[in-house]
A = this chain, B = another copy of it.
Amino acid sequence: MGVGKFFGIGTGPGDSDLLTIKGQKVLQEIDCLYTPEPKKGTKSLALSIVSPYVREDLVVKQRHFPMVKDWSVKEQAWDAIANEILEEVKAGKKVGFITLGDPMVYSTYSYLLNRLKDQIETETIPGISSFCQMSNSLQIPLVMDDESYAVVPSTASDELISQALTDFSTIVIMKAAPHLEKIMALLTKENLLDQAVLISNASMENEVVTKGLSELDPSQKISYYSTIIVYKTQESFKERV
């Protein structure tokens, strides 16, 4: 048995072919793959994304990451999973962990990595972020020339979101679902509803795209995987060239 190593792999947003070639090669090379299971008993979305590129005989270990407000409950789960991985890598195994989108953008993977990176060899393979795939699919630039963009979660303060909507050319609001009413109120105040696009389940079979949010009911229930992109300069860009 060779030298063990831990690999984090970003799966991209949903389309299996948005995995990188490097991610594909690592999936072929590892002895064992850990996957996150957001709700107990449900199939890992990250696993279904990479499944066309997973060897049939690969050992897959689905582990539950509790999505609760109590940090000590989460930390206990991360400690336990990190210890399991640590033992396997120390025994000489190549162990992978897959995470939706990019591993360095709002991923619980960072907490696992933080527990492991000083003790064993680790490598992290980037992935396409959902909002990046969305801009490519819509074929609207995130930024051009001297423009800037900001990425904020819907849980950020009203002040920060308003400031971002004022200062930046493009504003990405991640995890939009739990605070849709607040976000729509802020967009209304800044007169930006028409320049906003809501995308749910990006690049998946059940993708829904809503361009311009004036008609959207703020109390509507939307998918957990929902992002809003506000393209303030889209019209001027169209005319510019």
Instruction: List residues of A whose CB falls within 8 A of some B CB.
Output: 10, 12, 15-22, 24-25, 53, 75, 78, 102-107, 110-111, 113-115, 117, 122, 124-129, 132-133, 135-137, 139-153, 155-156, 160, 163-164, 167-168, 237-238, 241
Q: Which residues of B contact A156 (CB under 8 A)?
A: 146, 148
A-B contact pairs, 7 of them (CB 8 A): A20-B21, A21-B53, A110-B141, A124-B139, A126-B136, A146-B153, A146-B155
Give the docked Cα–Cα distance between A139 and B114 (Å). Answer: 9
With A141-B110, A143-B105, A163-B167: A126-B117 Cβ-Cβ less than 8 Å: no
A241–B150 touching, CB < 8 Å: no
B18–A21 touching, CB < 8 Å: yes
Nearest opposing residue in chain B for A16, CB measure: B21
Nearest opposing residue in chain B for A151, CB measure: B149
A104–B237 touching, CB < 8 Å: no
B75–A104 touching, CB < 8 Å: no
Q: Which residues of B contact A139 (CB under 8 A)?
A: 104, 113, 117, 122, 124
Given contacts A104-B135, A114-B238, 18 further A-B contacts (CB under 8 A): A15-B22, A17-B20, A19-B20, A104-B139, A105-B141, A106-B145, A114-B241, A124-B137, A124-B139, A125-B136, A126-B128, A126-B132, A126-B135, A127-B128, A146-B155, A146-B156, A147-B153, A148-B153
Nearest opposing residue in chain B for A159, CB measure: B167
Give the docked Cα–Cα distance between A129 and B115 (Å). Answer: 26
Give the docked Cα–Cα distance between A19 and B17 (Å). Answer: 10
